[in-house]
């Protein structure tokens, strides 16, 4: 065996358990559920480099900060040839001069970049960063920041990644990059390897099904149609089978309006086809033919834009393809949904994810990690994984350091919301004014969050706002970190999943209800799909989602074995989640119970 690095920390008992279970597993796939702060990332990485010293590793993350965490552990382990790999959207330096670049899809960005590189070759002035440069491994671990620094020497950071990928030992990349089959194939090509030879480590794996569904969904809006009209103004109102392109776009717009008239709902293919026929005043076959011609027109616009040095995006092409797919009823497990909320439109949503995720089964080994993956059956059903090793770690520090309290005289249940409102407000006031620790109050919706704006409370208070810009959000968090107090946020938002507030930065999390997904055509479609496919409609579409959201929010409290915290659930229905929420206690005085626990 090659020289193995020493494990860089004192090994916790629960990490011993992880090592033991992984060491003795013969299975190709492992799903590891272990709480935040348990050190599962370093444990899994150490296991992989020890047990498979000759294998290359791809580490999948949802956010760049999770990727940074992996690099930190890799540095501690003294690993060589570790690098991040992100798409042009993050790595292209030319996008500062060409804002169009950052708006493109990966495919559009790739074509745009290729055209600029071609221009360079023919001496017509393209991208200044496309210069010859032998990077080599400047550092043994190359982070996104280090690659971006390469740009100072006028070399493209994106291409710098490609050069190093051929002999990298560990590559950290994003799900959005790797879940796309087209990009994944190219990525493996740059690594000069095959999926069957690499070890995959998937972080925060509970997100995978939702990320996949988002990747597969597309939406037709009035905004998209406005983009089509602009292209017609610019590239001409092409005659397609005796009909003007503008007539086709106007007819799609008319059909869209009539479909949207009845509000948010699931729409059948038949309804779409009828709305088209009314608007176009044609039969469905003629409409399909016209849309195919329109798509060709869009392709020629893409080519013209590319020749003009613009992002090769054609709204006409994208709209024709989607408008045509909305008429097809041979695709299984997909629904068409109308949305009145801006940008209003009609979207095509794919419900099943297991087919696209079946590639995980082709790797040498895959390790899925998360603090909140249960119920396992849902994850297995959605990923289609067969017979994996399931490892659930119960870290003892959670038992000692976390309390989850709930009250039984208030609820956010839709039918009782009004009568509970006064009690909910007074709980919030009481907690804000009488628990002096830093708190995040996780609201079930922006509507509920706004209602707390009207409650008079003494204390330092911060409110997350809907549609906040990134800059405003960063300022809000840094103020909260610096001065402390009470931060009102929505559950399942940027704070409950992505912000690290360790130690005393947050000691209390208040959940103002059970965060079931709100009733919507999407949720109904998911419920129907889960029921039809797995006989677990309500359980998967509502209960499992609410449980994961609560566990994620509560997980903000304990970021390391030394953190202590109390979660307060202001909803009597919490008792239903006893299995998912260990350390759950009914409290008759949340203020005293919280203060007593934290003062211990
Ligand atoms: S070569 Fe690099 S910097 Fe230039 S356009 Fe392409 S991705 Fe962007």
Question: Mind listing the pLDDT tens digit for each residue in 216-260?
Answer: 899 999 999 999 999 999 999 999 989 999 999 999 999 999 999
Distance (Å) from CA 315 to ligand 1 centroid: 23
- Cβ–Cβ contacts within 10 Å for residue 472, how many? 12
Distance (Å) from CA 116 to ligand 1 centroid: 8
Distance (Å) from CA 357 to ligand 1 centroid: 30
In a domain, 111, yes or no: no
Distance (Å) from CA 81 to ligand 1 centroid: 23
Distance (Å) from CA 167 to ligand 1 centroid: 22
Torsion of CA 587, 514, 529, 214, to 10 degrees: -130
The closest residue, in CA terms, to atom 8 on ligand 1 is 92
Q: Which of the residues in the chain have pLDDT under 70?
A: 1-3, 133, 330-332, 498
Q: Are residues 386 and 411 in the same domain?
A: no
Distance (Å) from CA 148 to ligand 1 centroid: 12
Distance (Å) from CA 127 to ligand 1 centroid: 6
Q: What are phi and psi of 429, to 5 degrees?
A: -60, -45
Query: For ligand 1, is residue 94 a contact (CB within 6 Å)?
Result: yes
Which of these three, 317, 332, 350, is where a domain ends?
350
**Which strand ranges, in their side-by-side order, compose the sheet holding 439-443?**
461-463, 486-490, 439-443, 508-511, 565-569, 402-406, 584-586
Check residue 500 and give its pLDDT: 78
Query: For ligand 1, is residue 569 a contact (CB within 6 Å)?
Result: no
CATH (domain of 471):
3.40.50.300
Torsion of CA 324, 328, 331, 336, to 10 degrees: 80
Q: Which residue range forms the structural domain that includes residue 537?
A: 397-599
| 3-state DSSP assignment of residue 34 | coil
Query: For ligand 1, is residue 442 a contact (CB within 6 Å)?
Result: no
Strand pairing report for 461-463 and 486-490:
parallel
Query: For ligand 1, is residue 116 a contact (CB within 6 Å)?
Result: yes
Residues with Cβ < 8 Å from 322, sequence gap 6 or more? 218, 220, 348
Q: Are residues 337 and 246 in the same domain?
A: yes
Q: Are residues 298 and 402 in the same domain?
A: no
Which of these three, 337, 366, 392, is where a domain ends?
392
Query: For ligand 1, is residue 88 a contact (CB within 6 Å)?
Result: yes
Check residue 399 and give its pLDDT: 86
What is the Cα–Cα distance from 79 to 427, expressed in whole angstroms? 51
In a domain, 569, yes or no: yes
Q: Are residues 469 and 560 in the same domain?
A: yes
In a domain, 73, yes or no: yes
Which atom of ligand 1 is the closest one to the Cα of 91? 7
Q: Are residues 204 and 343 in the same domain?
A: no
Of 498, 502, 505, 503, nearest to 483 (Cα)? 505
Check residue 1 and give its pLDDT: 47
Which residues on neighbouring strands pair with residue 490, listed in sequence order? 443
- Cβ–Cβ contacts within 10 Å for residue 68, how many? 15
Q: Are residues 479 and 534 in the same domain?
A: yes
Q: Are residues 202 and 252 in the same domain?
A: no
Helix, strand, coil percent content, the chain, rounded in steps of 5? 50, 15, 35
Q: Are residues 63 and 31 in the same domain?
A: yes
In a domain, 403, yes or no: yes
Q: What is the pTM of this model?
A: 0.91
The closest residue, in CA terms, to atom 6 on ligand 1 is 113
Query: For ligand 1, is residue 74 a contact (CB within 6 Å)?
Result: no
Check residue 503 and give its pLDDT: 87
In a domain, 2, yes or no: no
Check residue 120 and give its pLDDT: 80
In a domain, 108, yes or no: no
Q: Are residues 376 and 415 in the same domain?
A: no
Which atom of ligand 1 is the closest one to the Cα of 92? 8
In a domain, 125, yes or no: no
Distance (Å) from CA 492 to ligand 1 centroid: 35
Q: Are residues 547 and 410 in the same domain?
A: yes
What is the Cα–Cα distance from 351 to 213, expressed in whole angstroms? 7
User: Between helices 245-260 and 222-235, what is the axis angle to 10°?
Assistant: 170
Check residue 54 and give its pLDDT: 93
Residues with Cβ < 8 Å from 272, sequence gap 6 or more? 255, 259, 326, 327, 336, 346
Got the DSSP string for 524-592? HHHHHHHHHHHS-HHIIIIIHHHHHHHHHHHHTS-SSTT--EEEEE--GGGGGGTTTSTTEEE-S-HHH
Which of these three, 284, 318, 350, is where a domain ends?
350
Query: For ligand 1, is residue 311 a contact (CB within 6 Å)?
Result: no
In a domain, 568, yes or no: yes
Query: For ligand 1, is residue 155 a contact (CB within 6 Å)?
Result: no
Q: How many domains does the chain have?
A: 3
Q: Are residues 377 and 404 in the same domain?
A: no
pLDDT tens for residues 33-65? 999 889 999 999 999 999 999 999 999 998 777
Q: Are residues 319 and 417 in the same domain?
A: no
């Amino acid at each position: 065996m090659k020289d193995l690095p020493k494990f860089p920390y004192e090994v916790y008992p629960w990490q011993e358990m992880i090592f033991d279970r992984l060491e003795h597993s013969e299975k190709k796939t492992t799903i590891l559920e272990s709480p935040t702060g348990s050190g599962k990332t370093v444990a899994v990485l150490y296991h992989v480099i020890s047990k498979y010293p000759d294998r290359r590793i791809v580490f999948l993350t949802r956010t760049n900060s999770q990727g940074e965490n992996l690099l930190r552990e890799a540095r501690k382990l003294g690993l060589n040839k570790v690098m991040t790999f992100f798409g042009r959207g993050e790595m292209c330096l030319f996008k500062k001069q060409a804002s169009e670049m950052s708006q493109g899809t990966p495919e559009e960005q790739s074509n745009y970049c290729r055209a600029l590189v071609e221009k360079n070759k023919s001496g017509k002035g393209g991208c200044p960063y496309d210069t010859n440069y032998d990077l080599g491994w400047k550092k043994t671990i190359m982070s996104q920041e280090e690659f971006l620094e390469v740009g100072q020497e006028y070399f493209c950071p994106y291409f710098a990644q490609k050069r190093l990928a051929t002999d990298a030992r560990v590559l950290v990349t994003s799900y959005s990059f790797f879940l796309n089959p087209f990009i994944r194939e190219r990525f493996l090509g740059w690594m000069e390897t095959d999926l069957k030879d690499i070890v995959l480590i998937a972080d925060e794996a509970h997100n995978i099904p939702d990320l996949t569904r988002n990747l597969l969904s597309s939406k037709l809006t009035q905004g998209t149609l406005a983009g089509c009209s602009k292209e017609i103004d610019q590239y001409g109102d092409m005659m397609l089978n005796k009909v003007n392109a503008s007539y086709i776009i106007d007819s799609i717009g008319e059909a869209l309006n009539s479909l949207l008239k009845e509000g948010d709902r699931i729409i059948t293919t038949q309804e779409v086809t009828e709305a088209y026929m009314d608007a176009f005043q044609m039969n469905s076959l003629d409409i399909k033919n016209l849309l195919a011609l329109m798509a060709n027109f869009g392709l020629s616009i893409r080519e013209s834009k590319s020749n003009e040095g613009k992002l090769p995006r054609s709204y006409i092409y994208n709209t024709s393809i989607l408008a045509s797919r909305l008429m097809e009823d041979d695709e299984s497990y997909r629904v068409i949904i109308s949305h009145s909320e801006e940008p209003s439109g009609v979207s095509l949503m794919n419900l099943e994810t297991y087919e696209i995720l079946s590639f995980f089964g082709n790797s040498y080994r895959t390790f899925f990690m998360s603090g909140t993956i249960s119920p396992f059956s849902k994850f297995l059903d959605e990923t289609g994984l067969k017979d994996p090793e399931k490892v659930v770690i119960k870290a003892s520090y959670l038992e000692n350091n976390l309390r989850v309290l709930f009250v039984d005289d208030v609820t956010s249940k839709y039918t009782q919301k009004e009568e509970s409102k006064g009690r909910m407000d007074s709980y919030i006031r009481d907690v804000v004014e009488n628990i002096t620790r830093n708190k995040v109050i996780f609201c079930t919706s922006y509507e509920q969050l706004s209602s707390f704006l009207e409650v008079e409370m003494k204390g330092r208070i911060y409110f997350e706002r809907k549609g906040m810009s990134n800059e405003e959000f960063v300022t809000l968090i840094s103020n909260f970190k610096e001065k402390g107090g009470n931060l009102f946020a929505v559950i399942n938002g940027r704070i409950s999943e992505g912000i690290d507030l360790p130690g005393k930065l947050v000691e209390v999390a208040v959940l103002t209800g059970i965060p079931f997904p709100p009733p919507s055509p999407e949720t109904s479609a998911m419920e129907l799909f889960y029921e039809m496919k797995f006989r677990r409609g309500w359980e998967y579409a509502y209960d499992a989602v609410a449980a994961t959201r609560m566990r994620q929010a509560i997980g903000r409290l304990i970021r390391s074995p030394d953190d202590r915290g109390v979660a307060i659930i202001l909803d009597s229905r919490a008792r239903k989640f006893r299995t998912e929420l260990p350390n759950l206690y009914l409290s008759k005085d949340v203020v005293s119970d919280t203060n007593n626990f934290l003062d211990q």
